[in-house]
């Protein structure tokens, strides 16, 4: 599996690269949003791991640009990583088109298991997860 990891933390990029390559995956890393979007165009991955909070361009903006400009059909599953653990943050990520949301710190083994599960699931299941997240986010905003 080819995994693209987009994160502004060099240590996390290196950890993911070493761990995923050690498990037999091809890994591309990008430290900026622009580099990540370019990598998707030039060497399309099977799955993307994307940081939620990055300087300059946050993960939600990257995800929106990815879905609008590069991947309008939502072919690339995206796992968002974040230090923000509020349920609304996870819903915002899923509603924007992420396939899953993982809170830092995370277990590398769990991340790898999640990547494999996502690759194995159908696009329809990913679409259903997004639809449910949009409904839950709408309901949460309506309760305020």
Structure confidence by residue, pLDDT tens digits, 52-69: 998 888 999 999 999 898
pTM, entire model: 0.88
> Does residue 143 register a pLDDT over 70?
no
- Mean pLDDT over 23-38 rounds to 95
- Mean pLDDT over 66-90 rounds to 87
Backbone angles phi, psi at 24, to 5 degrees: 95, 10
Give me the domains of the chain, ranges plus CATH numbers. Answer: 2-142 (3.40.50.2300)
Q: Enumerate the H helices of 3-122 as residue ranges.
A: 10-22, 33-42, 59-65, 87-95, 108-120
Query: What is d(CA 38, CA 20) in angstroms, rounded to the nearest whole number?
Result: 21
pLDDT for position 8: 94
User: Contact 83/53 with Cβ under 8 angstroms?
Assistant: yes
At residue 47 the predicted structure's pLDDT band, cuts being 50, 70 and 90, is: very high
């Amino acid at each position: 599996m080819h995994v693209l990891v987009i994160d502004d933390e060099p240590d996390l990029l290196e950890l993911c690269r070493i761990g995923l390559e050690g498990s037999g995956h091809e890994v591309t890393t990008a430290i900026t949003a622009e580099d990540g979007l370019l990598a998707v165009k030039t060497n399309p991955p099977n799955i993307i791991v994307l940081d939620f909070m990055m300087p300059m361009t946050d993960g939600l903006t990257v995800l929106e640009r990815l879905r609008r400009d590069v991947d309008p059909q939502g072919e690339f599953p995206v796992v968002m990583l974040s230090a923000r653990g509020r349920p609304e943050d996870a819903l915002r990520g899923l509603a924007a088109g992420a396939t899953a949301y993982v809170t830092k710190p995370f277990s590398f083994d769990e991340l790898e298991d999640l990547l494999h599960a996502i690759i194995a699931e159908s696009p329809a299941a990913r679409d259903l997860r997004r639809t449910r997240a949009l409904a839950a986010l709408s309901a949460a905003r309506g309760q305020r």
